[in-house]
């Protein structure tokens, strides 16, 4: 405050010195105006002719011949009063975006309106504001900056609201123009938006980062109402946060995590809470890394519970695109707590699970009729399950991490979220290694989270030799490894024997997997399994038809080849028998037909035996 008063006094002194240069030196001053510690030796007539407030003050003290007037809380201070006094004396000066807000306010304070003089200062400033400032976005931003020290009068005169509406309208118009410039025709002749082209309609983002947080909030709210794209709103929020939020290391004492610089902390807390309230409702409007950064700042600055819960809910709705570094939120509590904020991550996972369940409830029909083996929600579950397993492995070595918190994180996701339990087994093994004093009962409870049937061959081999696991868990691993080995041996048989075994083992594994899935996913899995069995049955029928056709052709070929060989040998034998005697034509033909019938019976028996 001392610096501010010293600055005002220096301004008043310089204004007084400049005032002596343009006032009438040949006419003695008859009134002295005091403004914020500064004095101006002026003349009544020029002031009274333009200012209604000074006219009333002089009229009220006409009998006492007032010669000294103090103007308390004059907006803009001595420097702005100097401009108003110049106007009263008819001295020209330039109205700009840097002084128009002060002139509007001081003209209202001094009542320099059309009622007391034509083309007074108030109308001149209003005209410049409407015709020049409100048509230029940069000027509106500059006027808003000047209004920061003129509230609430600037709000009452609607200077702030007019500038905000002008900024929102200008940004919306620029965005529409930029969208039209990115329209192009595809190869098929259709008009579409080229999203790869650079969007030039968001150049205003950098300009808005200089506004104070309360005015910035009003600008963003107006832009939302005007229909500015959520992506542009999000980009502006990210840019503003990067400008306003200082480095977090300056807020904390590294030795004891003690808060310092309370004024800066309060300002940054206000910035974080305001930005969170302005976040668009659409997903992916801001990067998830930015949301995690805001959450870290909210935890560090001890923001309101509503602010943190809102961030946790937004993060939970798109947790499937998060990374491990995002989840590693440091803990800013007492020294005996965990290294990372496990409770916050658990609430995020609960939000993700509830969001996933709510979406499933809304899309029951689509889930039950889905033919895809991996619906979007199921794919998100798989990604988050891997992320959670990696997170568990990262926090497991923490000596202060309690078993209940570790298990709470692992049990947050449904059982059907993990198709392979290698990551979970690795995290539990790290936890057991870091907490060797864990009782056997707790070890058994922890290992019940693992489905050893879902371990890969490498993980199963490691678990079978892991001395940190309870004996019961090792027995289960050996049992499932034996089943896996038996199935592998069965698969080494011939193709005809291998197919039934494969289908049987496939049905066993699929039924075990379906038992671990949710009812909706289980239903969809059974439908897919039924459809695949029908396809396999159709393939077997086609193969059977092909085999029958091949069999008929083979039978026909065998019959033809056998009949040719037999007739040639039979002709030779008949030729030899004709040397011993002669018969009539009827008698000679009878043995031939009889032998042919006998040969046909032999061929039929041969084909039957072949079948």
pLDDT higher than threshold 70 for residue 369:
no
17 DSSP β-pair partners: none
More confident residue, 246 or 461: 461
b/e map of 572-591 (b: 16 or more CB within 10 Å)?
eeeeeeeeeeeeeeeeeeee
| Separation CA 258–CA 16 (nearest Å) | 48
pLDDT higher than threshold 70 for residue 376:
no
Task: Specify the DSSP element, H or E, that contains 32.
Answer: strand 31-35
What pLDDT does residue 534 have?
72
What pLDDT does residue 59 have?
85
pLDDT higher than threshold 80 for residue 164:
yes
Tell me: cis bond preceding 152? Omega within 30 of 0 counts: yes
Mean pLDDT, range 247-263, rounded to an integer: 46
More confident residue, 505 or 303: 303
What pLDDT does residue 411 have?
93
Q: Can you give the C-alpha Rg of the chain in angstroms?
A: 45
pLDDT higher than threshold 60 for residue 238:
yes
What pLDDT does residue 31 have?
86
SS3 state at 525 = helix
Mean pLDDT, range 52-77, rounded to an integer: 84
Asked if residues 174 and 203 have their Cβ atoms less than 8 Å apart, the reply is yes
More confident residue, 358 or 373: 358
pLDDT tens column, 426-473: 999 999 999 998 999 999 999 999 998 899 889 988 988 889 998 888
What pLDDT does residue 509 have?
47
Residue percentage of the chain with pLDDT more than 70: 70
What pLDDT does residue 181 have?
52
Q: Please, which pLDDT band fits residue 587 given cuts at 50, 70 and 90?
A: very low
What pLDDT does residue 187 have?
56
Phi, psi of 396 (to 5 degrees): -60, -40
Phi, psi of 344 (to 5 degrees): -65, -45
Judged by average pLDDT, the poorest of 39-43, 304-308, 506-510 is 506-510
SS3 state at 68 = strand
What pLDDT does residue 255 have?
41
Q: Residue 35: which of 67, 2, 82, 1 has the closest Cα?
A: 82
Mean pLDDT, the chain, whole residue set = 78
What pLDDT does residue 325 have?
94
Tell me which range, 44-48, 156-160, 227-231, 519-523, is most confidently predicted by mean pLDDT. Answer: 156-160
Mean pLDDT, range 592-605, rounded to an integer: 44
What pLDDT does residue 219 have?
96
* Residue whose tokens read 């306010």: 105
CATH 3.40.190.10 fits 2-131, yes or no: no
Task: Specify the DSSP element, H or E, that contains 300.
Answer: helix 288-300
Mean pLDDT, range 299-323, rounded to an integer: 93
Mean pLDDT, range 15-43, rounded to an integer: 72
pTM: 0.70
Q: Please, which pLDDT band fits residue 590 given cuts at 50, 70 and 90?
A: very low
Judged by average pLDDT, the poorest of 154-163, 403-412, 488-497 is 488-497
What pLDDT does residue 434 have?
92
Q: Please, which pLDDT band fits residue 478 given cuts at 50, 70 and 90?
A: confident
| Separation CA 151–CA 163 (nearest Å) | 14
pLDDT higher than threshold 80 for residue 498:
no
């Amino acid at each position: 405050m001392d610096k501010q008063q010293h600055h005002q006094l220096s301004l008043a002194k310089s204004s007084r010195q400049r005032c002596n240069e343009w006032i009438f030196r040949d006419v003695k001053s008859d009134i002295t105006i005091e403004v914020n510690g500064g004095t101006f030796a002026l003349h009544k007539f020029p002031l009274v002719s333009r200012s209604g407030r000074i006219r009333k003050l002089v009229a009220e003290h006409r009998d006492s011949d007032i010669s000294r007037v103090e103007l308390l809380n004059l907006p803009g201070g001595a420097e702005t009063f100097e401009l108003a006094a110049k106007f009263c004396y008819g001295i020209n000066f330039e109205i700009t975006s840097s002084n128009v807000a002060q002139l509007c306010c001081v003209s209202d304070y001094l009542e320099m309106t059309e009622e007391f003089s034509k083309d007074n200062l108030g109308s001149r400033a209003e005209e410049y504001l409407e015709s020049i400032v409100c048509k230029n976005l940069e000027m509106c931003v500059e006027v808003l900056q000047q209004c920061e020290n003129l509230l609430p009068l600037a709000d009452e005169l609607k200077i702030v609201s007019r500038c905000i509406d002008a900024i929102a309208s200008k940004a919306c118009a620029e965005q529409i123009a930029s969208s039209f410039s990115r329209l192009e025709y595809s190869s098929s002749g259709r008009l579409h938006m080229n999203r790869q082209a650079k969007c030039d309609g968001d150049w205003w983002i950098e300009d808005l980062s200089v506004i104070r947080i309360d005015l910035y909030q009003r600008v963003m709210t107006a832009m939302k109402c005007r229909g500015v794209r959520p992506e542009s709103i999000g980009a502006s929020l990210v840019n503003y946060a990067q400008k306003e939020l200082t480095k977090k290391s300056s807020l904390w004492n590294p030795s004891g995590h003690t808060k310092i610089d309370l004024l800066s902390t309060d300002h940054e807390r206000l910035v974080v809470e305001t930005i969170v309230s302005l976040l668009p409702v659409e997903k992916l409007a801001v990067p998830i890394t930015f949301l995690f950064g805001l959450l870290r700042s909210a935890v560090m600055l001890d923001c309101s519970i509503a602010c943190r819960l809102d961030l946790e809910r937004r993060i939970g709705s798109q947790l499937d695109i998060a990374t491990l570094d995002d989840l590693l939120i440091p803990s800013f509590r007492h020294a005996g707590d965990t290294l990372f904020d496990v409770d916050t991550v658990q609430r995020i996972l609960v939000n993700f699970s509830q969001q996933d369940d709510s979406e499933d409830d809304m899309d029951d029909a689509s889930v039950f009729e889905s033919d895809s083996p991996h619906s979007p929600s199921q794919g998100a579950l798989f990604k988050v399950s891997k992320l959670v397993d990696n997170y568990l492995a990262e926090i497991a070595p923490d000596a202060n991490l309690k078993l209940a918190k570790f298990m709470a994180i692992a049990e947050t996701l449904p059982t059907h979220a993990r198709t392979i339990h290698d990551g979970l087994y690795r995290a539990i093994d790290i936890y057991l290694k870091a907490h060797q004093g864990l009782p056997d009962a707790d070890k058994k409870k922890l290992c019940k989270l693992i489905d050893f049937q879902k371990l890969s061959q490498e993980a199963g081999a490691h678990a079978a030799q892991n001395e940190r696991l309870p004996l019961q868990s090792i027995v289960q691993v050996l049992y499932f490894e034996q089943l896996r080995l038996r199935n592998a041996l069965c698969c080494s048989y011939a193709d005809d024997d291998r197919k039934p075994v494969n289908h049987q083992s496939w049905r066993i594994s699929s039924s075990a997997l379906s038992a671990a899935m949710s009812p909706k996913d289980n239903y969809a899995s059974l439908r897919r399994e039924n459809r695949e069995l029908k396809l396999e049955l159709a393939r077997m029928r086609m193969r059977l038809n092909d085999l029958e056709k091949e069999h008929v052709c083979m039978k026909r070929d065998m019959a033809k080849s056998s009949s040719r060989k037999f007739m040639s040998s039979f002709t030779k034998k008949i030729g030899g028998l004709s040397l011993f005697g002669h018969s009539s034509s009827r008698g000679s033909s009878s043995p031939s037909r009889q032998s042919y019938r006998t040969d046909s019976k032999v061929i039929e028996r041969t084909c039957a035996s072949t079948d």
